[in-house]
Amino acid sequence: MAKTSFGRSGGLLTWLGIALIVIVLDQFTKTLILGHFQHGDARHVTGFFNLVRVHNTGAAFSFLAGASGWQRWFFVGLGLVAAAFIAWMLRTQGHQKQFAWALSLILGGALGNVIDRLLHGYVVDFLDFHLAGRHFPAFNIADSAITVGAALLILDELRRVRRG
Q: Which residues are catalytic?
A: 125, 143
Angle at 109 between CA 104 and CA 112, to 5 degrees: 125
Report DSSP state, residue 136. Answer: P
Separation between Cα atoms, residue 60 and residue 139, nearest integer Å: 9
Burial (CB count <10 Å: 0-12, 13-18, 19+), residue 52: middle
Residue length, the chain? 164
Pairing type for strands 42-44 and 134-135 reads unpaired
